Structure 1
Amino acid sequence: MIKKALFFVGCASGLAGAVFAEPVEKPASAATISAQRAMAKSLPVDDGRDSGFADRGFIATLSDPQIKAKDGKIVWNLGAYDWMSGNTAPESVNPSLWRHMGLLRKHGLFALSENMWQVRGFDVSNMTVIKGQNGWILIDPLTTRETATAALRLVNETLGTRPVSAVIYSHSHGDHFGGVRGVVNEADVKAGKVQIIAPEHFLAETASENVMAGPAMGRRANFQFGSHLQPGPFGQMGSGIGRGVAGGDITLIAPTIEIQKTGETRVIDGVTLEFQMVPETEAPAEMNVYVPAARTFLAAEIATCSLHNILTPRGAKVRDTHAWAGFLNEAANLYGDRSDTIASSHCWPRFGQEEVKGWLTGQRDNYRYLHDQTVRMMNKGMTQAEIAEALKAPAAIGDQWFNKGYYGTYSHNSKAIYQFYLGWYDAVPANLNPHPPEIRAAKMVTAMGGTKKVLATAKKAMAEGDYRWSSDLLNNLVFADPKNAEGRALLADSYEQQGYQAESAIWRNMFLTAAHELRQGIKASINTQSIDMISAVPTALLLDSVATRLDPAAIGNRKLAINLNFSDRNEQAKVSVGNAVMFSEMGAAHPTPAATISGPRQLFLALLFLKLPVAQLESAGLKVEGDRSQVEALQAALDPMPGPFNIVEP
């Protein structure tokens, strides 16, 4: 029962769409080869600094590249990119991205500065290690228990076995805390032997991340990270700030110390640490860490080896670009002259005081230019698409390798800034109330002269290398007639070539995943939340998430009044349903409820998320008093947890 109840927000299961037997990969077209050659000629001179920084301090890595779960399943392969060799990119990989992934693929334990190290390449993120008086202080213990365990094993085997005295979460994203149970025991945390340090509001932001929009975000994340793509010249080429995201068990232990203000210092296991708060930038709750004794600044994720996302394509709240640039400027002023080494929780570090200041101010200028010029064009009346097409970084900014768009891009980030200020509407009345995609597509195909005409025009565009236009045309055709095999095949080919040409690793992933699904259908996948993550989600947020699945047609005009008693949490809530709206109030109760449900919260999860039969749950300990038909009516009116819905077809 417990394990079943863990299929929570973000769950996706089952198959959708047809399966097509067309070959998965096509070679680079003549137009793509030409585009790759032009890109190669346009790239700035590689002075070798990045390569030197990425190699510097290497000590050791694991002899066995495969990191496995308890059941023997491989959750991470350190050697996934060992096939890469040489400086010349295959025709199917953007030359800039090829260079970038050649640096990101390096893995192992690296010396950072005095008594500081990083484990890189064991996940999408890095784990930073500080030697304390008695044990290790770990910053960002990766995404999963398995990869974190392997990383700490490498540290202990190489540097000598020591206990972990503290863990620091730099921010509220899973790849920066999810492996915590792989490096510490919660009993030691409760006993005060291990401190868990995080920025203010960390737990609330962690709990709320992806809850309301969990299914949609999870499905879109499969595109962004190329979850079903194999690393290779025709497949995945990392994520732009790391490799992919590790499999395994995502865990969480609540912080014991919250940092609240910039300049706050703490002595942890004999080591003085200073913190900079950078909320509402890359994450709602985020902080940077400065280690005075090592003259080392950890920039968490506000500065990396790539332009980041202002609005990640998987979906999230839009980030504040203006504030982001401001915090980078603050970091340069506070720590630039005090640091000889700068690192982040992704990518490789940089060494030397000039490099520290140059890295921070260079990225500061990138975000500020992106913000200011988007707003300037926006205030001249330009729309999102027009700004995205026109806005380019000046050479002084764009020719710095760390400012290139391997993760975020000027194109989609400028649209995010527009959205931050003005929302989705571009003020063009034709876009205020357009037909939905399927109806519009059918009308467009008819207006263009029918299927044969659209196919002919698309083929001509592809022959000319205009894949943006061909995919626009063919997307309309597929949405008008998803069973049109030729249209699907051509659209897959068009997406594939755009993926090959993309400098952004996540654009590549999204294009290639789209091509894959058009050819072979959607792969079955199940995304689960761990016990730790579910436990961290406040009950009020869980109930609000349930309310988003209430089907008005199914509930009709019924009015429900139900009290909930969560016996394991000493919590009470009243649920009211009327006007096809479900409203929950914590700490309240209906004076005369139609029904009262009591039991541990995991049984409520099974009732409201898994929709297991009430009688089955009663036998497991759930208690239902009063009119059980009200309980069954509510459960019946809830949509099941969404499966992997279509994206590249209607």
Structure 2
Amino acid sequence: MLSACDNSGGGSSSGAAGGDHQLDNSVKGATEATKAANKKIADSLPFNDKSDFEDAKRGLIERPETLTIKNANGDVIWDLEEYKTYIADDKPAPDTVNPSLWRNAQLCMEYGLFEVVPDKIYQVRGYDLSNITFIRGNTGWLVYDTLISPETAKAALDLVNAKLGPRPIVAVLHSHSHVDHYGGVRGIINQADVDSGKVKVIAPANFVEDAVSENVIAGNAMGRRAVYMYGALLPRNAEGGVNGGLGMTVSTGLPTLVLPTDTVTASGQKMTIDGVDMEFQFTPGTEAPTEMNTYFPQFRAMWMAENTTNTMHNLLTLRGAQVRDALVWAKFLNDTINVYGPNVDVKFQSHHWPMWGHDKIIDYWQRQRDMYKYIHDQSVRLMNNGLIGSEIAEEIAMPPELNNYWPDRGYYGTLKHNSRAVYQRYMGWYDGNPADLDDLPPEPAGKKYVDYMGGADAILEKAKKDFDNGEYRWTAMVLKHVVFADPNNTDAKNLLADSFEQMGYQAESGPWRSVYLQGAFELRNGVPSAGGTDVASPDTISAMPPEMMFDYLGVRLNGPKAAGKNIKLNVTFDDLKKDYTLHVANGVLNYEPGKIPDADASLTLTKDTMNQIQMGNLKLTDGIDQKKVTLDGNRQSVEDFVGLLDTFPFWFNIVTP
């Protein structure tokens, strides 16, 4: 996840481009075209339906007057106050914010401690991107999903204990492997209590493997793109960050991880902890590679994890991930309806607000199920009619019974990019047109486009007219080529930024708004140098088995530099009593268990020492010098191996070459 750092680059909300458009680099207001687009949304959706607001406010027990959470060093890692200055129930949507997204932000600002089931189930909402849930057992709390940061999780626990009376935590349950559902765990429990058996940690099968894989193997690229997805560097105002779709934004503490003591592997698996009966619905391949819902028969309540929220979710996140299977997702929701639906009166989950009433919940589940089924089936239908991903995204439209249903609106995922994800899942990146099989990358293509179009000045003159006509999608497509042809063309960057900005103001999806506005920010201010968080936290690194760590070393190996090299290393983890052989040949790194007699060198170290090397706290060669790593053999081969490993730059360019 990414940090949301304060930035003073906010601008005025007044003024429209019109014929007097100036190519300056300041934040602009909404143009007349954007105002018209947002008014069309306001006129087309049932804004008089206030049932969500009733549900979001229901059961409020306590709400601190202010909510700013700091870490031990005094750094702010969660601040709802920066949103409260401009978002409120009684404030209409500004011209610079899609009114539907504004409504979602108003709902997500309902923060505090809430009662979901009397005397039994409570939630703290608005303390992070996700919710943290407390279930009262006979003697203590069962806690579901522990937010991103230890500091936000602790603040939520402190609120619960202050209002409901202090109770020990007897179990922590993680619904799935995304960091906003486990990262805060060490803020509310300690390892000693887990080791002694006082606290159980329960998660679905492959939880650790999935958490590590997403946050380390491709974590650097995902982390950089997540700056865009969450608008990490945007000011918190009506021209900047407004809402993340699933919640307001992400907290910025260092995520932690505690290894599970118990694992859920199948639907129908049951547990009773501290007098609380639970039946799990195991849902692999839905919102996460492995995920689980939980039914509480004593309370007729169903915890939906993140398999249903009050928005359309992502089939493919904009930060990057593996494509999720909409058909499998719909199937599991159908199972939820059939198996648990007859005995449910309360539905709650790890984002947004709960829902009460059997018939209302069944209708909700059916429409969420049918939303994912419709996206899948219609995308495949259009695909089989010969349309490519971009054409499908332009053609597909939800039927009114789904389109006008608030929980199916695209505040996080969108119909456009989800339909393209379905196409990608079945057909891959190639659209079948030979012209796109070996197309030029953006920089050389940009130079040719600009040359063909008569030069940058001619393009800018035409683009200004198209911008004034509200054709922002087109001006963005065209101006991208000018910027990649000449990243020093300030006028092109500023007009492209203005185009992104208006598209952001019109976006209903929180991530789409953030992506566009973060792109505009970087075009105007340059690539940042601070504000991102390394998702490969110490707990995540520590949880990596040696095999996964070697997989990551293989990703870091610079293939061209490794060509012609032949390096064999034995590696022994003396604390784990495990031996491995690493072999660099043919430009790749392979590994296997055991030792070989003809290795160039043998290294002996602890897993913790390897963790410190992986985190960049210790160089391997320094570890040898400090006797933390025992070397037997040719030291030069070890230094050669280290020299072949890339260190990834976090702040790589996105909107400029």
TM-score bin, normalised by smaller chain: over 0.9
Secondary structure of the structure 1 residue equivalent to 2:84? coil
Structure 2 distance, partners of 1:263, 1:552, is 47
Partner of 1:60: 62
Secondary structure of the structure 2 residue equivalent to 1:592? coil
Partner of 2:163: 158
Secondary structure of the structure 2 residue equivalent to 1:210? helix
**1:94-493 equivalent positions in 2, closer than 5 A:** 94-114=98-118, 115-493=120-498
Structure 2 distance, partners of 1:568, 1:23, is 57
Q: CA deviation at 1:545?
A: 1.1
Higher mean alpha-carbon deviation, 319-328 vs 541-550, is at: 541-550
Contact 1:279 1:285 in 2 (8 A): yes
Secondary structure of the structure 1 residue equivalent to 2:340? helix
Partner of 1:628: 635
Q: Structure 1 residues 454 and 602, CA, compared in 2 at 3 Å: closer, same or farther?
A: farther
Structure 2 distance, partners of 1:582, 1:250, is 30
Structure 2 distance, partners of 1:229, 1:620, is 46
Structure 2 distance, partners of 1:238, 1:507, is 11
> Which residue, out of 567, 571, 575, partners 1:568?
575
Secondary structure of the structure 1 residue equivalent to 2:216? coil
Question: For residues 433-475 of structure 1, what are the alpha-carbon distances to aligned partners after superposition, in whole Å with 9 as ceiling and x for unaligned?
Answer: 1111111111111111111111112111101000000000100
Structure 2 distance, partners of 1:158, 1:220, is 39
Higher mean alpha-carbon deviation, 493-502 vs 36-45, is at: 36-45
Read off the aligned partner of 2:28 and give its amino acid letter. K
Secondary structure of the structure 1 residue equivalent to 2:107? helix
Q: TM-score scaled to structure 2, two decimals?
A: 0.94
Secondary structure of the structure 2 residue equivalent to 1:294? coil
Structure 2 distance, partners of 1:440, 1:42, is 40
Contact 1:61 1:154 in 2 (8 A): no
Secondary structure of the structure 1 residue equivalent to 2:503? helix
Secondary structure of the structure 2 residue equivalent to 1:218? helix
Question: For residues 299-318 of structure 1, what are the alpha-carbon distances to aligned partners after superposition, in whole Å with 9 as ceiling and x for unaligned?
Answer: 11010010000000101111
Structure 2 distance, partners of 1:498, 1:200, is 41
Q: CA deviation at 1:67?
A: 0.7
Contact 2:566 2:584 in 1 (8 A): yes
Contact 2:483 2:489 in 1 (8 A): yes
Higher mean alpha-carbon deviation, 439-448 vs 71-80, is at: 71-80
Secondary structure of the structure 2 residue equivalent to 1:564? strand
Q: CA deviation at 1:556?
A: 3.5
Question: For residues 361-403 of structure 1, what are the alpha-carbon distances to aligned partners after superposition, in whole Å with 9 as ceiling and x for unaligned?
Answer: 1101111111100010011111000000010111011100000
Secondary structure of the structure 2 residue equivalent to 1:76? strand
Partner of 1:5: none
Read off the aligned partner of 1:195 and give its amino acid letter. K
> Which residue, out of 84, 95, 105, partners 1:91?
95
Structure 1 distance, partners of 2:241, 2:564, is 50
Structure 2 distance, partners of 1:540, 1:489, is 47
Contact 2:153 2:184 in 1 (8 A): yes
Q: CA deviation at 1:79?
A: 2.3
Question: For residues 120-151 of structure 1, what are the alpha-carbon distances to aligned partners after superposition, in whole Å with 9 as ceiling and x for unaligned?
Answer: 00010011111100001111111111000000
Secondary structure of the structure 2 residue equivalent to 1:75? strand
Structure 2 distance, partners of 1:58, 1:628, is 64
Partner of 2:600: 594
Partner of 1:494: 499
Identify unmatched segments of 5+ residues in structure 1: 1-8, 12-20
**1:630-649 equivalent positions in 2, closer than 5 A:** 630-649=637-656
Higher mean alpha-carbon deviation, 452-461 vs 462-471, is at: 452-461
Q: Structure 1 residues 301 and 540, CA, compared in 2 at 3 Å: closer, same or farther?
A: same
**1:534-613 equivalent positions in 2, closer than 5 A:** 534-585=541-592, 587-605=593-611, 607=613, 610=616, 612=619
Q: Could you tell me the percent identity over the aligned residues?
A: 42
Q: TM-score scaled to structure 1, two decimals?
A: 0.95
Q: CA deviation at 1:618?
A: 2.1
Q: Structure 1 residues 461 and 602, CA, compared in 2 at 3 Å: closer, same or farther?
A: farther
Question: For residues 297-340 of structure 1, what are the alpha-carbon distances to aligned partners after superposition, in whole Å with 9 as ceiling and x for unaligned?
Answer: 11110100100000001011110100101111111112222111
Q: What's the C-alpha RMSD, in Å, of the aligned pairs?
A: 1.8
Read off the aligned partner of 1:97 and give its amino acid letter. L
Q: Structure 1 residues 266 and 147, CA, compared in 2 at 3 Å: closer, same or farther?
A: same
Q: Structure 1 residues 609 and 162, CA, compared in 2 at 3 Å: closer, same or farther?
A: closer
Higher mean alpha-carbon deviation, 422-431 vs 57-66, is at: 57-66
Partner of 1:74: 76
Structure 2 distance, partners of 1:540, 1:325, is 34
Higher mean alpha-carbon deviation, 457-466 vs 635-644, is at: 635-644
Structure 1 distance, partners of 2:317, 2:99, is 23
Structure 2 distance, partners of 1:589, 1:609, is 26
Read off the aligned partner of 1:442 and give its amino acid letter. K
Secondary structure of the structure 2 residue equivalent to 1:81? helix
Q: Structure 1 residues 142 and 406, CA, compared in 2 at 3 Å: closer, same or farther?
A: same
Q: Structure 1 residues 64 and 34, CA, compared in 2 at 3 Å: closer, same or farther?
A: closer
Structure 2 distance, partners of 1:591, 1:402, is 62
Contact 2:2 2:227 in 1 (8 A): no
Structure 2 distance, partners of 1:506, 1:212, is 23
Q: CA deviation at 1:642?
A: 2.3
Partner of 2:8: none
Question: For residues 281-303 of structure 1, what are the alpha-carbon distances to aligned partners after superposition, in whole Å with 9 as ceiling and x for unaligned?
Answer: 00011000111111111111010
Read off the aligned partner of 1:41 and give its amino acid letter. D
Q: Structure 1 residues 70 and 609, CA, compared in 2 at 3 Å: closer, same or farther?
A: closer
Q: CA deviation at 1:602?
A: 4.2
Runs of 4+ in 1 over 4 A off after TM superposition: 21-24, 605-609
Q: Structure 1 residues 591 and 479, CA, compared in 2 at 3 Å: closer, same or farther?
A: same
Question: For residues 82-141 of structure 1, what are the alpha-carbon distances to aligned partners after superposition, in whole Å with 9 as ceiling and x for unaligned?
Answer: 121325210100011111110011110001013111110001001111110000111111
Structure 1 distance, partners of 2:327, 2:413, is 16
Higher mean alpha-carbon deviation, 322-331 vs 605-614, is at: 605-614
Partner of 2:41: 39
Higher mean alpha-carbon deviation, 152-161 vs 58-67, is at: 58-67
Q: Structure 1 residues 58 and 642, CA, compared in 2 at 3 Å: closer, same or farther?
A: same
Secondary structure of the structure 2 residue equivalent to 1:454? helix
Question: For residues 162-189 of structure 1, what are the alpha-carbon distances to aligned partners after superposition, in whole Å with 9 as ceiling and x for unaligned?
Answer: 1011111111111111111111122111
Partner of 1:51: 53
Identify unmatched segments of 5+ residues in structure 2: 4-22
Question: For residues 239-288 of structure 1, what are the alpha-carbon distances to aligned partners after superposition, in whole Å with 9 as ceiling and x for unaligned?
Answer: 10111111112111111111122122211111111111111100011000
Question: For residues 586-615 of structure 1, what are the alpha-carbon distances to aligned partners after superposition, in whole Å with 9 as ceiling and x for unaligned?
Answer: x22222211111212344355566483614
Structure 2 distance, partners of 1:120, 1:222, is 23
Contact 1:231 1:238 in 2 (8 A): no
